[in-house]
Amino acid sequence: MNNADLSTAPSATGHARVTAVILAAGKGTRMGSDKAKVLHDLAGKSLVAHVLDTCKRLGVGQSVVVVGWQREAVEALVKPLAAECVLQDKQLGTGHAVLCAEPAVRGDTVIVLCGDCPMTPPELLNELVSRHTKTKAACTGVAARMADPSGYGRMLTDAQGRLVRIVEHKDATPEQRAITLINSGIYAFDRAHLFRCLKNVKPANTQGEYYLTDVVAMLVNEGRPVELVVTDDVASVLGVNTPADLAQAEQLYAKRQAAAAR
């Protein structure tokens, strides 16, 4: 990438060697609906369509959507939006989901996004990719400070503020649960390091799942550079898991639209 690609403003062509992998295979049982979670609407557009729109505005070279639950409906929605689809036939965790995308990924840098996180602005993702590229990191994560971090993974940092490990809420100790720096689930990875490490992830956790977050600890243990971007805008990393979350997102989205119109 040239210097223009590393500016802080999103570019229509500046991230052509970036692949966005969007996780959209889960059912989302906490929504209390038969509809796949990513198909629920926010301001007249599905959650996953918002994420794909952000990728388009960022200027990524490729968007890959990992599908599973209600595969046909999700594919019918995202393919007209220039997305490619890969199947996660069994929901075995985020690490497994990203690994399913490996055959389709063409970019040197992979950004991992959640299909139920519609409020992330392209400016934040541009900062993520720019930091990742400038520092030649193996991985760069996005974190946010949250007053009530319940349910979110925690970002563990060293004395210099560098990311050391990500611990899922359900696996965290009481001391770790007191940490307010939360994992957004948004990352940039060097493609080769990502898939090499994913092949060595083990389901050694309470859910028996393959966690993408374990890749971070592997890279740290190898002495690879792992960077962190911290945002103060909690709404930008808001995931929609329940009807209450969706209602909150609707309110925040309306406020953003009103502010942008002024």
Q: Which one is catalytic: 30, 106, 162, 196? A: 30
From 232, 23, 227, 21, select the one nearest 130 (Cα to Cα): 227
Clarify whether 145 is annotated catalytic: no
Secondary structure, 3-state, the chain? CCHHHHCCCCCCCCEEEEEEEEEECCCCHHHCCCCCHHHCEECCEEHHHHHHHHHHHHCEEEEEEEEECEHHHHHHHHHHHCCEEEECCCCCCHHHHHHHCHHHCCCCEEEEEECCCCCCCHHHHHHHHHHHHHHCCCEEEEEEECCCCCCCCEEEECCCCCEEEEECHHHCCHHHHCCCEEEEEEEEEEHHHHHHHHCCCCCCCCCCCCCCHHHHHHHHHCCCCEEEEEECCHHHHCCCCCHHHHHHHHHHHHHHHHHHHC
Residue identified by tokens 């929504």 is 31
Active site residues: 30
